[in-house]
Structure 1
Amino acid sequence: MAPSALQVEQPVTPQTKQIATRSKDDVVTELTPLQAISQGVCLPGIPLFSSYDKHRAWILSHMAGAFRVFARNNLTEGMSGHISVRDPEHPHTFWTNPLGKHFGLLKASDMVLVDYSGAVVGGNQSRPANAAGFLIHSAIHKARPDVNAACHCHGIAGKAWSAFAKPLEMINQDVCYLYGEAQAVYEDFGGVVFTEEEGVRLAAALGPKGKGMVLRNHGLLTVGGTVDEAAFLYVLMERSCDVQLRADAAAANGIPKVLVDDEAAAYTFKMASDAESLYWEFQPDLEYEYEMSNGAFKHPDCDEVVWPGY
C-alpha cells in the first residue's frame, strides 16, 4: 500500500517557474517546466502527506536511496561525506548519516536525528554523527530556511576541480542547471571543519540563491528543497567537474571551447532547475536502487519509494 499522500494534480510550488506555450486553438496557456517536458499525461508534482510520520518515512527512504546512488557513483571516501534532511515536523532538527557506515549499506533506520545544538534527539543512537558534517549542515539549515536537504562528498572529479577554486563554466546543457547565482565558490580552506565560524562562513558563501558550491581543496556541496533535488544536483555537479576537466585538457592542446551564451544558459536554467523537475530527475536512479536492493533501504512505513504507478 502506498503512503497516504494528498496529491494536488499538477501542483505549482512557490519555486516553480511558468512558461507560455500556444495551443492548437491559438490560445496561450501557462505551463510549468514539468508540464512542458511531459508529452501526454504529466508527471505528478512533489507529493504532499497527510501526516508528519508518513512524510518522515518517505524522506528517510529517499535519503537512504540517495546514499546508495552516491555509492554507485563512487562518491565514498572513508568516513567522509554526508547528507542532511530537515525533519518535516521539527524544522530545527535534521537527519543525517551515522559516522563510519558505507553509503551503499545505509537504510532509513540508520539515520541520526540531531538538533541545532548538536544533540542527538532521535533515530539511530548506536553510532555518532559526523561532527564536521554537523557544523557544515547546521549552518546551512540555519541560514537557508528554504533548504530542506544538503549533500557533501569527496568525489574524485569534484576534489580535482576544487583545486582551482573556480566555478564551473557553462560548457553544456546540463551544467546550466547551476547557472548564475545558483553556483558559488567557497574560496577558503582551513582543514577539516571543526569550528562553528567556518560553517557560518561556508553558508554565507553559498548565498541566498545557491544550489551548488565548489569548496576549495575540499569537494562539492549541493542543496535543495528535497533530498532528491540536492542529490541529483550533486551527481550532476560531480559529473560536470569531470566534463570540465576533460574539456580543459583538450583546450590546453589548442582546441577552443565554445561556451553556452548567457541567454541560452538562463533559458535552460529556467526550464530545468525548478523544484519539481529536479525532484523527478532523481527518480530513475532512486527506482533503480530500489529494484537492485529489493527495497532493503526503505522505511517500514513507506510502502512505495517511487510514486505509485510510475
Structure 2
Amino acid sequence: MNAKPNINEILAMTGRKSIYQPEQQGLIYPDEPEFDSFEEARTHLKQRLVAACRAFALHGLDYGFAGHLTVRDPEHSGLYWTNPMAVHFADVKVSNLILADHEGKVIEGDYAINRAGFVLHAAVHEEHPDIVAMCHAHTVYGTAFAALGQEILPITQDAAAFFEDHVVIREEAGQVAVETKAGHKVANAFAGVKAAIHQNHGLLTASRHSIEAAAFWFIALERCCQQQLMVAATGLTPTLVTPERARYSREHVGSEYIGWLHFQPIWENLLRTQPDMFD
C-alpha cells in the first residue's frame, strides 16, 4: 500500500510554495513579482528597500546613524543599494538611496556610506553571491540579548522560525566593525542561515530571496529577543518546543517566502500612509 504524500509533496504537486497559498482560485492574495527588465526590477527593489527602512522606523529600530539595510542590484551583482548615512529611517526615500560597490565606493547618490555598514554588508554580499539583502540595526532587545551570547531558544512557534537557522558570532564581540577583517568574520557565519546574533553588538539578518524577507526576519528576531528576555525575567524555566516540532514549524513559518509574505501587509500599510517614500 502506497504511503500518503506529505505536505511538501502535495505543495510540489500543486506548484505552491507554502501551505498558506490558497488552493481556491480567484481570491485576493499577494503574488511574487515578475519583471520584464532590469530597470523595472531595480525600481521595485529600491521602493521595497525604502519601505523596509520605514518599517524599521515604525518599529522603533533606529539608533542615531547606526543601522543599515542593503539589497543587491539586479543587473550589476557587485553593487548594492543602501540607506544614506546619518538619515533617519523615517526619512529614507528613493531619491536619497545610494549605490555602492564592495570597496565602499559610492557609485550613485549624494550621501556618504556608513563605514560599518560597508564593512559588514559588503563582505556578506561579496562572499555569498546568493544573498540578495541584509539588515542590521542597534535595537533595544536585540542588543541586550546579544550581551548574553546565547541562541534564541524555541520557546514559541515564532521563535521556532529561527531554530537551527541562526548563529551566535562571538569573534570580536563588542568591537566596532570598521575594519575589513571584521566583515569577513561575519560573512563566514552566514553560510546557510538567515540570521546572526553578534555578541555584545546586535542582530543581523540576510535573505536569499528579497529585502522584504530580510527586513521581516529582523523585526521578528528582535521580537523573539524581547520575548525570551521577558520569559527569563520571570525566573521560571520555559517549556521548549521539541526539536521535531520546532523543525516542522520552521519549515512552514520560517522560510524566505514566508518572510516575504509577512512583509506584504507592512508594504500595503506604508503604501497608503507614506506616499513620500517614492519622492
The whole-number CA distance in structure 1 between the counterparts of 2:10 and 2:76 is 40
Shift of 1:290: 1.6
Change (3 A) 1:191 1:214: same
Helix, strand or coil at the partner of 1:222: strand
Shift of 1:258: 0.5
- Equivalent in the alignment of 1:269: 250
Q: Deviations over 1:173-213 (max 9, x none)?
A: 11111121x1011113252111111100111122x211011
Q: 1:18-37 maps to which residues of 2 (within 5 A)?
A: 19-21=8-10, 29-30=13-14, 32-37=16-21
Q: Deviations over 1:224-279 (max 9, x none)?
A: 120000000000000000000001111x1xx3311011111111111123332221
Shift of 1:145: 1.2
- Equivalent in the alignment of 1:305: none
More helix, by proportion: 2
Which residue type is aligned with residue 202 of structure 1?
V
Q: Which runs of 4+ in 1 moved over 6 A?
A: none
Aligned length: 270
- Equivalent in the alignment of 2:215: 231
Q: 1:92-241 maps to which residues of 2 (within 5 A)?
A: 92-122=78-108, 124-125=109-110, 127-180=111-164, 182-188=165-171, 189-206=173-190, 208-224=191-207, 225-241=209-225
Shift of 1:119: 1.1
Helix, strand or coil at the partner of 2:278: coil
Helix, strand or coil at the partner of 2:214: helix
1:280 to 244, 258, 261: 261
Helix, strand or coil at the partner of 1:288: helix
Counterpart contact for 2:174–2:200, Cα < 8 Å: no
Counterpart contact for 1:60–1:298, Cα < 8 Å: no
- Equivalent in the alignment of 2:3: none
Helix, strand or coil at the partner of 1:151: strand
Counterpart contact for 2:71–2:82, Cα < 8 Å: yes
Structure 2 stretches lacking a partner, 5+ long: 1-5
Change (3 A) 1:195 1:18: farther
Change (3 A) 1:48 1:33: closer
| Structure 1 residue 248 corresponds to structure 2 residue 232 | yes
Which residue type is aligned with residue 241 of structure 1?
C
The whole-number CA distance in structure 2 between the counterparts of 1:32 and 1:270 is 14
Q: Which has the higher contact order (CA 8 A, sep 6+)?
A: 1
Helix, strand or coil at the partner of 1:19: helix
The whole-number CA distance in structure 1 between the counterparts of 2:186 and 2:168 is 9
The whole-number CA distance in structure 1 between the counterparts of 2:82 and 2:195 is 19
The whole-number CA distance in structure 1 between the counterparts of 2:79 and 2:244 is 40
- Equivalent in the alignment of 1:3: none
Shift of 1:219: 0.9
- Equivalent in the alignment of 1:296: 276
| Structure 1 residue 258 corresponds to structure 2 residue 239 | yes
Change (3 A) 1:35 1:170: closer
Change (3 A) 1:175 1:31: farther
Counterpart contact for 2:174–2:201, Cα < 8 Å: no
Counterpart contact for 1:85–1:94, Cα < 8 Å: yes
The whole-number CA distance in structure 1 between the counterparts of 2:182 and 2:31 is 36
Helix, strand or coil at the partner of 1:34: coil
Percentage of identical aligned residues: 30
- Equivalent in the alignment of 1:49: 35
For the aligned residues, what is the CA RMSD?
Answer: 2.0
Helix, strand or coil at the partner of 2:120: helix
| TM-score of the pair, normalised by structure 2 | 0.91
The whole-number CA distance in structure 1 between the counterparts of 2:130 and 2:184 is 17
Helix, strand or coil at the partner of 2:223: helix
